């Protein structure tokens, strides 16, 4: 029987490169753990975590809102591979949000609550000096080359984009209309930017959104297509289910849009975050379609799911409302893959720290008991009906 540990280094590297090509970073780590010779022949992600080949690109944490233990469910949106990953490290931090590539954004539990970026597949934790902006809901992206590592976050409620490098003392920010949905387009503009001056590229994102508002379209969002270096820009008028699709180059300073008539075997999930998936690898997901939610008329915590067939230009309601309220979900049916993907794009996690700070401002006793005695109310005089 061959001694596998003595395989030539170039052959070992070729096997490792296959795992990296499919972004199966956990397989790569397990492969390196087999023996000393294989570790010596391959690059260590922990010593060079900024290298693009070691960054998660296609992974999505599906149970951001629902997981009650240390194990989290991920899916590779390109290969369709599912992975349950134990992450006990998360207990030591506040969960801020995740990226559509697979990074997990955390903050220290101790002041000043500095940002941390976790690669859950390699275990690499990139520590930042800057504290996380205290916004309740933050979308995020990690951008940059091997020489730069920039965390970009966006808050729709604050209408601001934030960015910082690990050495930055604070997050820089500037105003941007509804930035969460446009993050795939604008995030790359901030890579390596260490200045607090105005970044003019954001004006392009504002211009695109404002043009669509004049047409009374409710949504203007985009999803990154890393294979082509483009972003798909989707405009949705929810009331009439009118949908338009166009594309732009990520590095195009002019923001020139070209119409798109087909997205092939892929499917788009549209919401506060957007996701482009390979429908051939994911069961129950139709190709060349756009999935989205329409607000419930009663204003509850859920929306009905629609699918828009790009070929026929027709929208169809395909699922009942998906509740994101954990209390309401106790007796609900188990979430299917479609539910999880729609929920991921529509619901950005709540950053716990702002909640805790808000509660600290509430007095322990809202109403002094002595104050109630001033009313001297006699409950014996109350008349109750039959």
Instruction: Lowest mean pLDDT of 36-40, 51-55, 254-258, name the range.
Output: 254-258
Return all residues near 383 (Cβ < 8 A) that are at least 6 apart.
none
Q: How far is residue 192's CA from residue 57's CA, in Å, rounded to a whole number?
A: 19
Handedness of CA 275, 279, 284, 288 (dihedral sign): positive
Q: Which residue has the higher pLDDT, 345 or 201?
A: 345
- Residue-wise pLDDT for 75-116, tens only, equals 999 999 999 999 999 999 999 999 999 999 999 999 999 999
Q: How far is residue 236's CA from residue 214's CA, in Å, rounded to a whole number?
A: 13
Looking at residue 247, its pLDDT comes to: 87
Give residue 63's pLDDT band: very low, low, confident or very high (50, 70, 90): confident
Q: How many other CB atoms are found less than 10 A from the CB of residue 325?
A: 12
Return all residues near 138 (Cβ < 8 A) that are at least 6 apart.
96, 97, 105, 132, 153, 154, 155, 162, 348, 351
Looking at residue 150, its pLDDT comes to: 93
- What's the whole-number average pLDDT of the chain? 82
Helix, strand, or coil (residue 152)? strand
Give residue 219's pLDDT band: very low, low, confident or very high (50, 70, 90): low
pLDDT at 302 over 60: no
Going through 92-229 in order, the beta strands assigned E by DSSP cover: 93-98, 104-108, 114-118, 125-131, 139-143, 150-155, 160-164, 172-175, 219-225
Q: How many other CB atoms are found less than 10 A from the CB of residue 194?
A: 13
Interhelix angle 9-21/25-32, nearest 10 degrees: 160
Give me the residue spans of the domains in the chain: 1-42, 43-361
Is 215 exposed, middle or buried (CB count within 10 Å of its CB: 0-12, 13-18, 19+)?
Answer: exposed
With vertex at residue 377, the alpha carbon angle to CA 372 and CA 382, rounded to the nearest 5 degrees, is: 140
> Can you state the percent helix, strand and coil of the chain, rounding each to 5?
25, 30, 45
- Residue-wise pLDDT for 9-20, tens only, equals 999 999 999 999
pLDDT at 336 over 70: yes
Task: Specify the pTM.
Answer: 0.84
Please state whether beta strands 71-76 and 242-249 pair in parallel, antiparallel, or not at all (unpaired): unpaired
Looking at residue 251, its pLDDT comes to: 61
| Token pair of 143 as six digits | 């951008």
Q: pLDDT over 90 for what percent of the chain?
A: 50
Q: Can you say how many angstroms the Cα of residue 382 is from the centroid of all Cα atoms in its chain?
A: 55
- Residue-wise pLDDT for 340-378, tens only, equals 999 899 889 999 888 888 777 776 545 555 554 554 545
> Which CA distances in Å does 116 have to 45, 105, 166, 312?
17, 6, 9, 45
- Residue-wise pLDDT for 125-176, tens only, equals 999 999 999 999 999 999 987 777 899 999 999 999 999 999 999 999 988 8
Q: How far is residue 355's CA from residue 357's CA, in Å, rounded to a whole number?
A: 5
Give residue 379's pLDDT band: very low, low, confident or very high (50, 70, 90): very low
């Amino acid at each position: 029987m061959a001694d596998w540990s003595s395989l030539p280094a170039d052959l070992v590297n070729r096997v490792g490169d296959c795992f990296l090509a499919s972004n199966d970073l956990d397989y790569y780590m397990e492969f390196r753990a087999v023996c000393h010779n294989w570790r010596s022949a391959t690059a260590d992600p922990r010593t060079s975590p900024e290298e693009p080949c070691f960054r998660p690109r296609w992974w999505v944490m599906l149970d951001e809102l629902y997981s009650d233990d240390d194990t989290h469910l991920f899916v590779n949106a390109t290969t369709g591979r599912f992975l349950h990953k134990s992450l006990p490290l998360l207990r030591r931090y506040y969960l801020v949000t995740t990226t559509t590539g697979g990074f997990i954004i955390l903050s220290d539990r101790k002041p000043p609550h500095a940002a941390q970026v976790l690669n859950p597949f390699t275990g690499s934790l990139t520590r930042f000096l800057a504290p996380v902006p205290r916004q309740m809901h933050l979308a995020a992206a990690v951008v940059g080359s091997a020489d730069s590592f920039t965390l970009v976050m966006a808050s729709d409620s604050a209408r601001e984009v934030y960015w910082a490098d690990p050495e930055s003392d604070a997050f820089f920010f500037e105003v941007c209309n509804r930035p969460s949905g446009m993050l795939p387009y604008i995030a790359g503009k901030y890579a390596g930017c260490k200045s607090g001056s105005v970044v003019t590229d954001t004006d392009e994102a504002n211009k695109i959104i404002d043009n669509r508002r004049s047409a009374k379209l409710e949504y203007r969002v985009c999803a990154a297509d890393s294979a082509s270096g483009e972003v798909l820009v989707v405009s949705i008028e929810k009331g009439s289910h009118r949908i338009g699709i166009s594309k732009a180059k990520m590095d195009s300073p002019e923001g020139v849009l070209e119409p798109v008539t087909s997205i092939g075997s892929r499917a788009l999930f549209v919401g506060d975050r957007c996701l482009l998936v390979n429908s051939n690898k994911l069961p129950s997901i139709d190709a060349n379609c756009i999935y989205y939610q329409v607000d419930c008329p009663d204003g509850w915590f859920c929306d009905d799911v629609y699918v828009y067939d790009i070929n026929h230009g027709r929208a169809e309601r395909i699922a009942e409302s998906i509740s994101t309220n954990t209390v309401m979900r106790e007796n609900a049916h188990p979430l299917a893959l479609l539910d999880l993907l729609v929920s991921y794009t529509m619901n950005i996690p709540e950053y716990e720290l702002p909640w805790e700070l808000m509660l600290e401002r509430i007095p322990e006793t809202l109403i002094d008991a002595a104050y109630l005695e001033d009313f001297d109310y006699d409950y014996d005089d109350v008349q109750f009906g039959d």
